[in-house]
Amino acid sequence: MKAFIFDLDGVIVFTDKFHYQAWKKMADNMGIYFDETINNRLRGVSRAESLEIILEKYDGTLSDEKKAELMEEKNNTYRELLKTMDPEDVTDAVRNTLKKLREAGYKLAIGSSSKNAKFILERVGLLDAFDAISDGTNITRSKPDPEVFVKAGELLGIEASKCVVVEDAYAGIDAAKAAGMEAVGIGDASGYDKADYKIQTLEELPGIVENLSESCKIEDSQN
């Protein structure tokens, strides 16, 4: 068996704008400067590490209790925004690509830092599209640590050298390489030289299958 492991935010669904709006609301309430450039640094990074990045602009120190409160406030706003999502938020390109890869014989997994991954997949009707879900609820270290992808491989029962990761974050590409997996960069990460392959849209993915290393390739996968 061979597998594709997909990051969720920025690859399968586009929740960046909701993360931004939710962190922005929290930052505004605290009088902390926050903009889209800072938001870009939060891609692939855990909730707690995201808060630390935002607090670089905060003059002072906060207790762990206050930080937990701020993260909860942000997550509550974020989940309210996620509730507006439905199956229409998944593009045809995403649905068709997942279908094609499954038909070609690949196992499919999610490898996401988010603790909301299952909630999002349920909202957009993609829970059944994956054979395994490794997310922020089953890891202790965030990307660029390889843990989330190693766990995804374990859940699928497929060794790392037979797994291909699809990622939009630099930290995610680093995590995939540290896990001993091949890495496809999409979106922001399509400009990252550590990505083994670079694509602009997910529809290009079945097309690169024939270029994968032998260990990741399934014969007749183009059929």
Query: Which residues have a catalytic role annotated?
Result: 7, 9
Based on CB atoms, which residue is closest to ligand BG6, 50 or 97? 50
- Look up residue 11 and give its two tokens: 């690859």
Q: Does 113 bind ligand BG6 (CB under 6 A)?
A: yes
Q: Which residue in 183, 171, 177 sits closest to 208, CA to CA?
A: 183
Site stretch for Mg ion (CB under 5 A), options 49-57, 100-108, 154-162, 163-171 = 163-171
Nearest approach in angstroms of CB 29 to Mg ion is: 26
Question: Which of 2, 24, 43, 162 lies at the binding interface for ligand BG6 (CB under 6 A)?
Answer: 43
Based on CB atoms, which residue is closest to ligand BG6, 120 or 155? 120
Nearest approach in angstroms of CB 217 to Mg ion is: 25
Based on CB atoms, which residue is closest to ligand BG6, 139 or 156? 139
| x/- map, 117-156, ligand BG6, by CB under 6 A | -------------------x--------------------
Q: How far apart are CA 117 and CA 123, in angstroms?
A: 10
Q: Does 115 bind ligand BG6 (CB under 6 A)?
A: yes
Contacts of ligand BG6 in 57-76 (CB under 6 A): 75
Q: Does 196 bind Mg ion (CB under 5 A)?
A: no
Binding residues vs Mg ion (CB under 5 A): 7, 9-10, 168-169
Binding residues vs ligand BG6 (CB under 6 A): 8-9, 19, 42-47, 50, 75, 112-116, 136
